[in-house]
Amino acid sequence: MRDDPPGATPFQPHDHSRCTSTTLAHAERAVAETGARLTPVRRRTLEILLEAHRALGAYEVLDRLAQDGFGNKPPVAYRALDFLVDQGLAHRISRLNAFTACMHPGVAHAPAFLICRGCNRVAEAPADPVRTALETAATALGFTVERSTVEALGLCPACHEAP
Amino acid sequence: MRDDPPGATPFQPHDHSRCTSTTLAHAERAVAETGARLTPVRRRTLEILLEAHRALGAYEVLDRLAQDGFGNKPPVAYRALDFLVDQGLAHRISRLNAFTACMHPGVAHAPAFLICRGCNRVAEAPADPVRTALETAATALGFTVERSTVEALGLCPACHEAP
DNA sequence: AGTTGACATGATATGTTATAACAATATATC
DNA sequence: GATATATTGTTATAACATATCATGTCAACT
Ligand SMILES: [Zn+2]
Ligand SMILES: [Zn+2]
Ligand SMILES: [Zn+2]
Ligand SMILES: [Zn+2]
């Protein structure tokens, strides 16, 4: 479980190495519980995402993996990324065709993503009210929502001040 | 301006040829007002989207354009599609990397898209409450939203009954 | 009518993102 | 240790998107 101050996001300054190690430690446990394995490629892929703190394209991830001696063919990256997404350890940012480490692993959540066009960082915002509103709109049309994507593009606090 | 019954979507049965011709007629006028031109490729592209009533990939559109004697190279489709999106006559569905004709042209709107995984049709749902909720969540983190994407995947009324 | 400039289209080439299919290897289970 | 299952590696290709330059079209101005 994370012990970040409430409202912490990649936008605020924070102890990043701790942010990374805490999440990795959680991942080990969480994955084991499901019977799956956090193998070297998968673990390294998660580290890469955590180090970046922004959305990375699959091929950016792949380059780094290859540098570390793992395979250098697309499926290597896509498989690891898909695994992390399935396990709730990473998210796919549809708008960017890219991936980012989850900042709240272990907590059931379907966040809204806030994508800063200044610094490219991505934060997760609580989206329960958003999804409720979406459900309501969909239900009015007889539509049953199974999964949904909520992404906002704009400016984070830091980039807002220094454009 | 459209005169569909309120709540009409591609999910309900409707007079589709009318749906198409009404929208095209509107497009002619709306585009002219902006000083732009609804050229043959552009018009045909809009027709293609309207006929499909679902999201089409750029290359699907391109194939149909080529069959009709237009160019068969990617930029032909992408330029026409980008034009329609700029004019508010079509929308890009991020999740599908695909495009769909706007069902409410002329009305300022930033809809939520309801994507049926059964029949692949796409409907637009009013999303004002959704965006308000998103703004609220973003503002709480000091984030300024400029554009946003709201897309839901699920089942439309028809596909819900006949799976 | 001829010139000009803005817009639009055509064509070539390339870049980017993603998956299918199969072979090789590691790991768990009996 | 034999068998089944999960994982990784590799090849090849599909699908999506853009940069760039050449050519054509049209309306405005002189
Ligand atoms: Zn998350
Ligand atoms: Zn920023
Ligand atoms: Zn629309
Ligand atoms: Zn359906």
- pLDDT tens-digit readout, B71-104: 999 999 999 999 999 999 999 999 999 999 998 8
Taking 70 as the threshold, does the pLDDT of residue A59 lie above it?
A: yes
Establish if B155 touches chain A: CB-CB under 8 angstroms: yes
- Report residue B125's pLDDT band, with 50, 70 and 90 as the boundaries: very high
- Its CATH class, for the domain covering B111-161, is alpha beta
Q: Which nucleotides of C are covered by protein (CB under 7 A)?
A: 7-14, 16-21, 27-28
Q: What is the pTM of this model?
A: 0.90
Look up the CATH number of domain A16-101.
1.10.10.10
Domain range summary for chain B, segments of one domain joined by +: 16-101, 111-161
- Which pLDDT belongs to residue B142? 95
C-beta atoms of A147 and B125 within 8 A: no
Distance CA A56, CA A120 (A): 10
Angle at B84 between CA B21 and CA A55, to 5 degrees: 135
Question: What Rg do the C-alpha atoms of chain B give, in angstroms?
Answer: 16
Percent residues over pLDDT 90 in chain A: 70
Contact with chain A for residue B107, Cβ under 8 A: no
Ligand number nearest to the C-alpha of B126 = 3
Average of pLDDT values for B21-47?
Answer: 92
Cβ of B132 and A133 within 8 Å?
Answer: yes
**How many CB atoms sit inside 10 A of residue A5's CB?**
8
CA distances from B12 to A46, A79, B60 (A): 44, 39, 24
| pLDDT for A110 | 87
Q: H or E segment at A148?
A: strand A144-155
Which pLDDT value is given to residue A17?
80
A156 annotated to bind ligand: yes
Distance, Å, B91 CA → D24 C1'? 29
Rounded to the nearest angstrom, the gap between the alpha carbon of residue A25 and the centroid of all alpha carbons in its chain is 16
Encode pLDDT of A29-50 as tens digits. 999 989 899 999 999 999 999 9
**Distance of residue A8 Cα from the nearest chain B Cα, in angstroms:** 9
Our measurement of CA A123 to C1' C22, in angstroms, reads 39
CA to C1' distance (Å), from B89 to D17: 21
In percent, how much of chain B has pLDDT > 70? Answer: 93
Q: What is the pLDDT of residue A65?
A: 97
A163 pLDDT above the threshold of 70: no
